[in-house]
Amino acid sequence: MAAMCRAASSVAVLSHYRPDGDALGSTLAVGLALQAAGKQVTFLNEDPVPGSLRFLPGSGQIRQPDGTALPVELVIALDCATAERLGAGCRAALEGAGPWLNIDHHRSNEGYGDWHYIDSGAPATGEIVHQFLTSAGLPVTREIAENLYVAISTDTGSFQYQGTTARTYEIAAELVRAGIDVAELNRATYENFPRRRVELLRGLFQNMEVTHDGRVASWSLTREVMAAAAAQPEDAEGLIDHLRGIEGVVVAAAFEELAGPEGKVRLSLRSKNPAVDVGRVCALFGGGGHPLAAGARLTGPLEAARQRVFAAIDEALVSA
């Protein structure tokens, strides 16, 4: 894979739509490293960079597909389990480009692309990227280190989630030695949200439900709740952790009505018990992820989607 990167003069790097910290941090780290190695790099994503992550070095280079074909010599997809989640516009722009390198840590990765670097034991794709860059002899500058730190920190819940290992902390130490300012990065990542996000949280708490004898907490992000808070889609990211943090709750579920005529519902699930594998629950609906964090997109309407998911959660709880 390192040889593929050395041989290619033009590269496209991308990740899933509605990108999070791991997706963007990993994409930017790889792209900036290849730029430093003299490659022509196109940074691509189906959606704009969320306002909360625009502080990431290089994020201004990420562009959305505009219908123009990109005949690059190498495509690197990061932190994306399925080709569908790359977005229709990105897939069309890169049709005929390649070969494709698929770098990911999701157990549910479908193995798309020509080459794969998938480690489902890694807590974040950023950890895999760090190993990839160092083994390939590519530079890890301060800007690249900042992206890798945010990638790893956000996908490990600030180094708290199961799967965080001694190696994870060792990589963080290496990134500190590369010159990152941990305090400033943490402030930018976790203490710089717009007020509308808090207003959205207030609306969500008003419709929160605790069911299954206190083992399941859920809420529904309807279009009405979004409008009342004047919220952007990115504002909902991470709010499910408030549900997961409730004492006695085993599974947290967030349902989001998506805009558009399809009537889709975005599902996010979190588990605090490895025996209750929410990745398998989401797989029933065409999604996937990890045993403790997963997601899917369902057909609506909202209440019908909720009932289907709750039925699946029932079975998961009984089997645990």
Task: Give residue 288's pLDDT.
Answer: 85
A 10 A CB-CB count for 319 gives 10
Residue 81 — left, alpha, or beta (φ > 0 → left; ψ -120 to 50 → alpha)? alpha
Task: Give residue 91's pLDDT.
Answer: 97
Which residues make up the CATH 3.90.1640.10 domain(s) of the chain? 2-190
Buried b (16+ CB within 10 A) or exposed e, 63-101: eebeeeebebbbbbbbbbbbbebbbebbeebbeebbebb
For the four alpha carbons of 304, 306, 308 and 310, in that order, the dihedral sign comes to negative
Task: Give residue 320's pLDDT.
Answer: 66
Class of domain 2-190: alpha beta
Which residues make up the CATH 3.10.310.30 domain(s) of the chain? 196-319
Kindly state the DSSP code that residue 63 receives in the 8-state scheme. Answer: B
Q: How far apart are CA 154 and CA 197, in angstroms?
A: 17
Task: Give residue 4's pLDDT.
Answer: 81
pLDDT tens digit sequence for 140-166 = 999 999 999 999 999 999 999 888 999
Fold of 196-319: Diaminopimelate Epimerase; Chain A, domain 1 (3.10.310)
**Residue 230 structure tokens:** 């004047």
In the chain, what's the furthest Cα-to-Cα distance? 58
Residues of the chain scoring pLDDT < 70: 320
